[in-house]
Structure 1
């Protein structure tokens, strides 16, 4: 039986932090509970091979990123990952299943390094508005809250996470050291 989903603190709970920089850092640290979770890290691998499970094991079968993040032409992610989770086999699904660009590899990096990657359009391929949309509204990111099977969902909800990201961006988007 699954345990209750961990909650995220609301942006309002950080209002007691008077120093704007410290508040921004605290907001990002709370959002980091989602960002550094295996559901996110598995799609932001340090190599061209995705990982899977909470243990972030190398993906089986052996697949690689491919030119567009959706797998090699001979074995696309969509070969196994369809529009929805397939509970009978445990294969997760989403119509947009793919890996993040290699420039957005997060595994093995500190939360501060991930933060700086996210804010660098040359690596993230997103401005701040697109970054917010990706985190708060993208259905592929949203899968992490509804992974199905025995997979542990990320904390909170996508709306709560989006509110944290918005508050962090609005507070100056400070990154930890």
Structure 2
């Protein structure tokens, strides 16, 4: 009888221990569920106008290079070559930025670069910005371009996090793989990305008008 009482007491203790352990794990699980993932944590802005403007000056050099500006023309015909002349075939932007009528960007610009010197560069999503959000780089001063990029009415309604992520967009990355015979942007992609994030995280300030 004494042994059975001891056994019963042991079993009760074990059951209570298991229950308390289960409650602890459930509580931990709830805390984990409430913790936002890294991708959802909002980007923290620490405003520093001097650092922000200094970073944008680096960004501006890349955005005004032919690899970026050629697809951000002032008009509706893309630019071409390291001298940024009008595209010799005169394709038009079209409403979606993918060409007009039968002359579509994808007719010549394949998913990857075509082999050979000065042949069409490629990308699976080759296009200009759409007609309702042209995102013009050509002719923009540093002040104008900086303000344009952070203006949701002109940047495709992108917030801060989306702008930061845009540095790794497929078309952006293609600037550093332009095909034979074309110069790359003046900074490496990693240098550009660091400057881009620095500019935005320090407040997205625009340089003073000259």
Q: Is the 8 A contact 1:49 1:59 kept in 2?
A: yes
Number of the residue aligned with 1:118: 149
Q: SS at 2:205's partner residue?
A: coil
| Count, aligned residues | 158
1:90 aligns with 2:113: no
1:163 aligns with 2:173: no
Q: SS at 1:122's partner residue?
A: coil
1:44 aligns with 2:72: yes
Kindly state the Cα deviation for residue 103 of structure 1 after the two structures are TM-superposed.
Answer: 3.3
Equivalences for 1:67-78 in 2 at 5 Å? 67-78=95-106
Kindly state the Cα deviation for residue 139 of structure 1 after the two structures are TM-superposed.
Answer: 1.2
Number of the residue aligned with 1:14: none
Distance (Å, rounded) in 2 between the aligned partners of 1:54 and 1:145: 14
Number of the residue aligned with 1:142: 173
Kindly state the Cα deviation for residue 32 of structure 1 after the two structures are TM-superposed.
Answer: 1.2
2:109 to 61, 76, 81: 81
Q: SS at 1:96's partner residue?
A: coil
Distance (Å, rounded) in 1 between the aligned partners of 2:124 and 2:134: 23
Q: SS at 1:156's partner residue?
A: coil
Distance (Å, rounded) in 1 between the aligned partners of 2:134 and 2:187: 27
Number of the residue aligned with 2:86: 58
Bigger radius of gyration, 1 or 2? 2
2:138 to 88, 100, 107: 107
TM-score (structure 2 length as normaliser):
0.71
Runs of 4+ in 1 over 6 A off after TM superposition: none
Kindly state the Cα deviation for residue 134 of structure 1 after the two structures are TM-superposed.
Answer: 1.4
- RCO comparison, higher one (Cα < 8 Å, 6+): 1
Number of the residue aligned with 2:204: 173
1:21 to 40, 44, 49: 49
Kindly state the Cα deviation for residue 149 of structure 1 after the two structures are TM-superposed.
Answer: 1.0
Note the residue ranges of structure 1 that are not aligned, 5 or more in a row. Answer: 1-18
**1:2-61 per-position Cα deviation (integer Å, ceiling 9, x unaligned):** xxxxxxxxxxxxxxxxx9311111010011111111110000000010000111111121
Note the residue ranges of structure 2 that are not aligned, 5 or more in a row. Answer: 1-46
Q: Is the 8 A contact 1:63 1:71 kept in 2?
A: yes
- The alignment's C-alpha RMSD in Å is 1.5
**1:80-115 per-position Cα deviation (integer Å, ceiling 9, x unaligned):** 000111123611111111012453111111011011
